[in-house]
Amino acid sequence: MIRLRKLARAASLLTTPLAPEDILSLFNPVFSARQLRGVVTKVVPETADSATIFFRPGRGWQAHLAGQWARIGVELDGVRHWRSYSLSAPAGQDPAITVSDMGAVSGALVRGTKPGDVLFLAPPQGDFVLPEHPRPLLMLTAGSGITPVMSMIRTLVPHRPDSDVVLIHTARTAADAIFREELAELADQFPNFRVTHWFTGGHGRLDFTSASDLDRLCPDWRQRAAYACGPEGFLDDAETLWEAEAAEAPEAPSAVEGSLTIERFSTKLAGGEGHDGGLVTFEASDREVEADGDTPLLDVGEDAGILMPSGCRMGICHSCLIPLRAGHVRDLRTDEVHGEPGQLIQTCVSAAAGPVNLDL
Amino acid sequence: MTIVSDKPDVSEEAPKGDPSPSKASAAVKTRPGALAESGSPLVRPDAAAHLSDEQVAELGRELDAIKDDILAKRGASDAAYIRRVIKVQRGLEITGRATLLVSKHKAAWVAGTAMLSFAKILENMELGHNILHGQWDWMRDPDIHSTTWDWDFVTPTRSWQHTHNDLHHRWTNVVGKDNDIGYNLLRMDPSQEWKPFNLGNPLYNAILAPVFEWGIALYDLELPDYKEGKKSKEAMTRDLKALGLKALKQFTKDYAATPAVAMLTGSGKQALYGTLTANAVRNVWAHAIIFCGHFPDGTDTFTEEMVEGETRGDWYVRQMIGSANISGSKFMHLMSGNLSHQIEHHLFPDLPSNRYAEVAPKVQEICKRYGLPYTTGPLLKQVGSTWAKVFKLALPPKKA
């Protein structure tokens, strides 16, 4: 390793101002001095509008924990777009993402990816991961929310046949339920793993307003460490139910038993209300853009061709922070207008409220 | 809650005496977008004096439409183009350099030097110049971006972007504002005051050509501004440090590391001559192409009154009548970094260079319709024309 670095430094004497990786990338596309990349090795269709994409990452990738997500960069008509996707492969194996077609980027990934394509990557992150010590688990998933949980199940169930896991997965129809066959096989093979599919097309939504649905599907749910992943409403309802149970409980439940861990895909933004924007100045990039009051500054910068740091695009991971030099921004989640010079702004959930100067 | 309504003054936060980024850029930030909304400059250039304000505004709208058309079409094929050029350039460069390692054989010397020369020209012009203009920023690829790219040229990219993108492109050919008119070395416009020093014009230019990259590096330091106190000592120190580091790396690569490796085959001296030649070839070529941009016969220079109150349309007019194209083959356009489409480049400095050829006939048609000159000619004619000017302006103006 150290010798490699010395070699690279010696080689850079001959390649400056390029890095040796820039030359090596002529022969192997995963080499880059700046940007972690991966090469697609296999694409497996899952349902009519979802697919699993396996890839071999270049140097700099860290092995993922079951349940984590990674940022994936894709090029649409020559322009790089970044989105976050949960890794569905079990920990310890080559990474894979399972993507459902829900927009331009995911659509291109599901329908346009082929082996040999290059994906741009950021290392896996996230703390929606399995508990350190074995305990009974309840997994609540809806739609593509199954992806991180699938990684957990694939990691845990076959290697610890004694682990007690209940999965309740809701999907519109049987045909829309990702991983249905594999889950059924696992349930056959491992009696301590139980799967319930709930099809909203027939039964309507899983009702979290009272505990009755859950009591029926998993009577001991209160004793389990619960994980939930799915759309906004699904998670909000689950959170409300768990909070209500906690309030009613005769004694405070222990930190793990009866806990709920959630993973969100998106956040409601207060956009589209016609707020006043302003002139956004990216000082170091020396660029000015007129922005409306409802567009995240991240999108404003990206559309102007500025290399914006970005992450989850929903205000949770803080990868997109940029120092504010002057002006005010509006938090699109809360509608709050704020801004102190030097304050770090989450550009993915902040819009201009009047003229804004950013240190980028 | 207070909302800041003025453009916030952030100068207090900038390190003391450091003119960048906020203070200095505030002064030069008057981009085309910040030009006067309507009206006309105090004086309209002779070549455009026959146009009314309304006609100039209409011309501006027509050129905006041409730009919007390209922006709408720009996409995957353009991205593939620039990546292809990068691949070809890097392939040529490493093959050329590898061939020079055995350059004690004459054929290897010729082939290696030729490949390295071509590679350096491509790298400097179609890649470096255009990427550093931000022509490819829209791809959001950190490997091909104006803020991350570095070139095989001694001048540090930030310094060059300041004098070139900000000053030269904003104030194209305005005497007293655009120092590219002669680079503080040559007398290239009759309105520049003649001094006995200017007798050496042809000599200076002949010396400048083969060491052009060092000339540009020196020019980008903005020594006259420093002497006049317009550039702070801190900024000067910073720029000198950046240049020193960059020059050291460039020098090491071409004149120490490559020959050192070639010594293993007994080709050290030949490899050194090879890299020297390749740099000189690139410098002479870049010098010729760049001089053909604004100095040939038919290009106008402007006074400060002509930019006072300038509208977007007038800005476009000035770019067109202040620049000159070079006619020639596709290969010539590529090797010139499409600066052979200097007029189109000055109208739309951040459109991808591969699109200039497509835009050129439309721009030429507009010039014809509005009765404006559109200067173009083959390379040798244009080079001859710039040299004629270098000689002519060496002499004092004839007394009327």
Q: Are strands A69-76 and A79-86 parallel, antiparallel or unpaired?
A: antiparallel
What span, in angstroms and rounded, lies between the C-alpha atoms of A82 and A120? 8
Model pLDDT, residue A265:
74
Is residue A227 over pLDDT 60? yes
A251 touches chain B (CB under 8 A): no
Model pLDDT, residue A296:
93
Model pLDDT, residue A198:
95
Name the residue among B66, B65, B44, B63 with its Cα closest to residue B53. Answer: B44
Residue spans per domain, chain B: 46-180+192-394
Facing residue for A305 by CB, picked from B25, B76, B140: B140
Is residue A215 over pLDDT 90? yes
Cβ within 8 Å, pair B21-A307: no
Q: Which two tokens stand for residue A188?
A: 């056959």
Residue type for position A97 = I
Spatial neighbors of B104 by CB under 8 A, at least 6 apart, are B265, B266, B267, B270
Q: Which two tokens stand for residue A5?
A: 């670095």
What span, in angstroms and rounded, lies between the C-alpha atoms of B209 and B212? 5
Task: Tell me if the bond preceding B202 is cis, omega within 30° of 0.
Answer: no
Model pLDDT, residue B166:
87
Q: For A246, what's the count of Cα atoms within 13 Å in the CB-facing half-sphere?
A: 15
Model pLDDT, residue A172:
94
Model pLDDT, residue A163:
93
What span, in angstroms and rounded, lies between the C-alpha atoms of B83 and A29? 12
Is residue A106 over pLDDT 90? yes
Cβ within 8 Å, pair A354-B249: no
Query: Which run of H or of E encompasses A155?
Result: helix A146-156
Model pLDDT, residue A310:
86
Model pLDDT, residue B181:
95
List Cα–Cα distances, A186 to A154, A155, A165, in angstroms: 9, 12, 11
Do A181 and A158 meet the contact criterion of CB atoms below 8 Å apart? no
Facing residue for A79 by CB, picked from B22, B91, B139: B139
* pLDDT tens for each residue of B318-364: 999 999 999 999 999 999 999 999 999 999 999 999 999 999 999 99
Is residue B161 over pLDDT 60? yes
Spatial neighbors of B354 by CB under 8 A, at least 6 apart, are B78, B81, B82, B338
Task: Tell me if the bond preceding B21 is cis, omega within 30° of 0.
Answer: yes
The angle at the Cα of B138, spanning B137 to B141, to the nearest 5 degrees, equals 60
State residue A206 phi and psi, 5-degree precision.
Answer: -65, 125
Q: Which two tokens stand for residue B236?
A: 């000067």
A156 touches chain B (CB under 8 A): no
Residue with tokens 């000053």: B167
Query: Which run of H or of E encompasses A112?
Result: helix A104-112
**For range B375-394, the mean pLDDT:** 98
Confidence band for B232, pLDDT divided at 50, 70 and 90:
very high
Give the chain B residue nearest A307 (alpha carbons): B140
Do A135 and A256 meet the contact criterion of CB atoms below 8 Å apart? yes
List Cα–Cα distances, B219 to A116, B164, B202, B294, in angstroms: 46, 11, 18, 17
Model pLDDT, residue B34:
67
Reduce the DSSP state of residue B165 to 3 states and report it.
helix
Name the residue among B248, B208, B230, B273 with its Cα closest to residue B20. Answer: B230
Do B173 and B302 meet the contact criterion of CB atoms below 8 Å apart? yes
Q: Which two tokens stand for residue B392?
A: 């002519």
Is residue A359 over pLDDT 50? yes
- How close is the nearest chain B Cα to the Cα of A110, in Å? 19
Model pLDDT, residue B22:
37
Query: Which run of H or of E encompasses B127?
Result: none
Model pLDDT, residue A341:
84
The dihedral of CA B40, B46, B47, B49: what is its sign? Answer: positive
Facing residue for A307 by CB, picked from B94, B97, B140: B140
- Among A152-166, A281-295, B133-147, B153-167, name the one with the lowest average pLDDT: A281-295
Best of A14, A280, A360 to mutate (most B CBs within 10 Å, chain B)? A14
Is residue A89 over pLDDT 90? yes
Cβ within 8 Å, pair A16-B252: yes
Is residue B25 over pLDDT 50? no
Cβ within 8 Å, pair A80-B145: no
What span, in angstroms and rounded, lies between the C-alpha atoms of B311 and A121? 45
Is residue B20 over pLDDT 60? no
Between helices B201-208 and B379-392, what is the axis angle to 10°?
A: 140
> CA dihedral defined by B89, B92, B93, B99, rounded to 10 degrees?
180
Residue with tokens 């007293």: B176
B-chain residues within 8 Å CB-CB of A35?
141-143
- What residues of chain A, 269 to 298, have a C-beta less than 8 Å from chain B? 279, 281, 283-286, 288
Cβ count within 10 A of residue B243: 18
* pLDDT tens for each residue of A168-192: 999 999 999 999 999 999 999 999 9
Q: Classify residue B263 by burial, with Cβ atoms within 10 Å: 0-12, 13-18, 19+.
A: middle
Name the residue among A185, A183, A203 with its Cα closest to residue A195. Answer: A183
Share of chain A above pLDDT 70, in %: 94
Share of chain B above pLDDT 70, in %: 91
Average pLDDT, chain A: 90
- How close is the nearest chain A Cα to the Cα of B297, in Å? 34
Give the chain A residue nearest B254 (alpha carbons): A14
Residue type for position A26 = L
Give the chain A residue nearest B29 (alpha carbons): A286
What span, in angstroms and rounded, lies between the C-alpha atoms of A52 and A64? 16
What span, in angstroms and rounded, lies between the C-alpha atoms of A110 and A313? 20
Cβ count within 10 A of residue B32: 16
Confidence band for B296, pLDDT divided at 50, 70 and 90:
very high
A75 touches chain B (CB under 8 A): yes
* pLDDT tens for each residue of B321-332: 999 999 999 999
Model pLDDT, residue A342:
83
Name the residue among A75, A104, A302, A300 with its Cα closest to residue B75. Answer: A75
Do A105 and A83 meet the contact criterion of CB atoms below 8 Å apart? yes
Is residue A155 over pLDDT 50? yes
Q: Classify residue B18 by burial, with Cβ atoms within 10 Å: 0-12, 13-18, 19+.
A: middle
Give the chain B residue nearest A25 (alpha carbons): B87
pTM listed for this prediction: 0.88
Name the residue among A353, A214, A255, A249 with its Cα closest to residue A295. Answer: A353
Is residue B164 over pLDDT 60? yes
Cβ within 8 Å, pair B138-A286: no
**For range B193-220, the mean pLDDT:** 97
Model pLDDT, residue A284:
85
What span, in angstroms and rounded, lies between the C-alpha atoms of B155 and B213? 7
Name the residue among B335, B297, B339 with its Cα closest to residue B164. Answer: B339
Facing residue for A34 by CB, picked from B142, B152, B258: B142
Buried b (16+ CB within 10 A) or exposed e, A172-202: eeeebbbbbeebeebbeebeebebeebbeee
- How close is the nearest chain B Cα to the Cα of A108, in Å? 14
Confidence band for B168, pLDDT divided at 50, 70 and 90:
very high
ipTM for the assembly: 0.86
Provide the CA B364 distance to its chain's centre, in angstroms. Answer: 22
* pLDDT tens for each residue of A292-349: 998 999 999 999 989 998 888 888 778 888 999 889 999 998 888 988 888 889 999 9
Residue with tokens 């459902």: A100
Is residue B3 over pLDDT 80? no
**For range B53-69, the mean pLDDT:** 97
Residue type for position B357 = A
**For range A276-280, the mean pLDDT:** 90
* pLDDT tens for each residue of B242-278: 999 999 999 999 999 999 999 999 999 999 999 999 9
Name the residue among B273, B323, B287 with its Cα closest to residue B215. Answer: B287
Model pLDDT, residue B313:
95
Query: Which run of H or of E encompasses B220?
Result: helix B212-220
Q: For A289, what's the count of Cα atoms within 13 Å in the CB-facing half-sphere?
A: 22
Do B293 and B356 meet the contact criterion of CB atoms below 8 Å apart? no
**For range B192-217, the mean pLDDT:** 97
Give the chain B residue nearest A79 (alpha carbons): B139
Confidence band for A245, pLDDT divided at 50, 70 and 90:
confident
Confidence band for B24, pLDDT divided at 50, 70 and 90:
very low
Confidence band for A2, pLDDT divided at 50, 70 and 90:
low
Model pLDDT, residue A319:
81
A327 touches chain B (CB under 8 A): yes
- What is the residue-wise DSSP string for A201-245? HHH-SPP-SSSHHHHHH-TTGGGSEEEEEE-HHHHHHHHHHHHHH
Average pLDDT, chain B: 91
Model pLDDT, residue A269:
61
Share of chain B above pLDDT 90, in %: 89
Sheet of strand A225-230: strand arrangement: A193-199, A165-171, A137-142, A225-230, A260-264
Facing residue for A326 by CB, picked from B8, B147, B150: B8
Is residue B31 over pLDDT 60? no
A-chain residues within 8 Å CB-CB of B26?
none
Do A246 and A252 meet the contact criterion of CB atoms below 8 Å apart? yes
